């Protein structure tokens, strides 16, 4: 004798409804994750990029530096967007996200060592803070030497 479980019209013994429920939960979790990433980016790196570039560069190179950093930002976005799927199939999910993690960690180290605190500082005080940072000493001295020759 067999025990009958409640079955749907198509005779799948309820497997379809369980599968649909699981898929629905997975899709909901994925959507929540996407929304969290977009919200986090919008509250951190998104505006931070433009805020930093507008106030961090010394006045003598600000125009050129803003243009160069904007171009670099767009080219980076194009590169990641156009290579993600091919890299994912070539090296796998773990490796591609590991690469993104590495770039993020390097960016964090760069931000901690090359971007001074600017809260409450004037432009000249920010320039002085940049002069004291190793990342900016050489490029700033080259710009100033070039301007003194002109």
pLDDT tens digits for 98-131?
Answer: 888 898 889 888 878 877 777 888 878 877 877 7
How much of the chain, in percent, has pLDDT values that exceed 90? 9
What's the DSSP call for residue 11?
S
What pLDDT shows up at residue 139?
A: 66
Q: What is the CA radius of gyration of the chain?
A: 26
pTM: 0.53
Q: Are 43 and 34 in contact (CB under 8 A)?
A: no
Residue 45, pLDDT above cutoff 60: yes
What pLDDT shows up at residue 2?
A: 44
Work out the average pLDDT over 4-28.
67
The whole-angstrom separation of Cα 100 and Cα 37 is: 14
Band of pLDDT at residue 141, cut at 50, 70 and 90 = low
Poorest-pLDDT segment among 6-20, 51-65, 71-85: 6-20
Coil, strand or helix at 123: helix
The whole-angstrom separation of Cα 6 and Cα 26 is: 25
What pLDDT shows up at residue 12?
A: 54
User: In the predicted model, what is the mean pLDDT of the chain?
Assistant: 78
Query: How many Cα neighbours within 13 Å face the side chain of 18?
Result: 6
């Amino acid at each position: 004798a067999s025990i009958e479980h409640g079955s749907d019209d198509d005779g799948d013994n309820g497997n379809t409804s369980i599968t649909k429920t699981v898929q629905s939960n997975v899709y909901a979790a994925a959507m929540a994750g996407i929304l969290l990433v977009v919200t986090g980016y919008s509250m951190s790196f998104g505006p931070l990029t433009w805020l930093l570039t507008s106030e961090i560069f010394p006045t003598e190179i600000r125009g050129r530096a803003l243009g160069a950093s904007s171009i670099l930002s767009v080219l980076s976005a194009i590169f990641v967007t156009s290579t993600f799927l091919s890299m994912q199939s070539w090296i796998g999910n773990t490796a591609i996200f590991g690469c993104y993690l590495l770039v993020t960690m390097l960016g964090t180290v760069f931000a901690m060592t090359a971007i001074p605190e600017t809260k409450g500082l004037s432009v000249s005080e920010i320039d002085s803070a940049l002069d004291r940072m190793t990342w900016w000493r050489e490029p700033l001295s080259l710009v100033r030497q070039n301007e003194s020759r002109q």
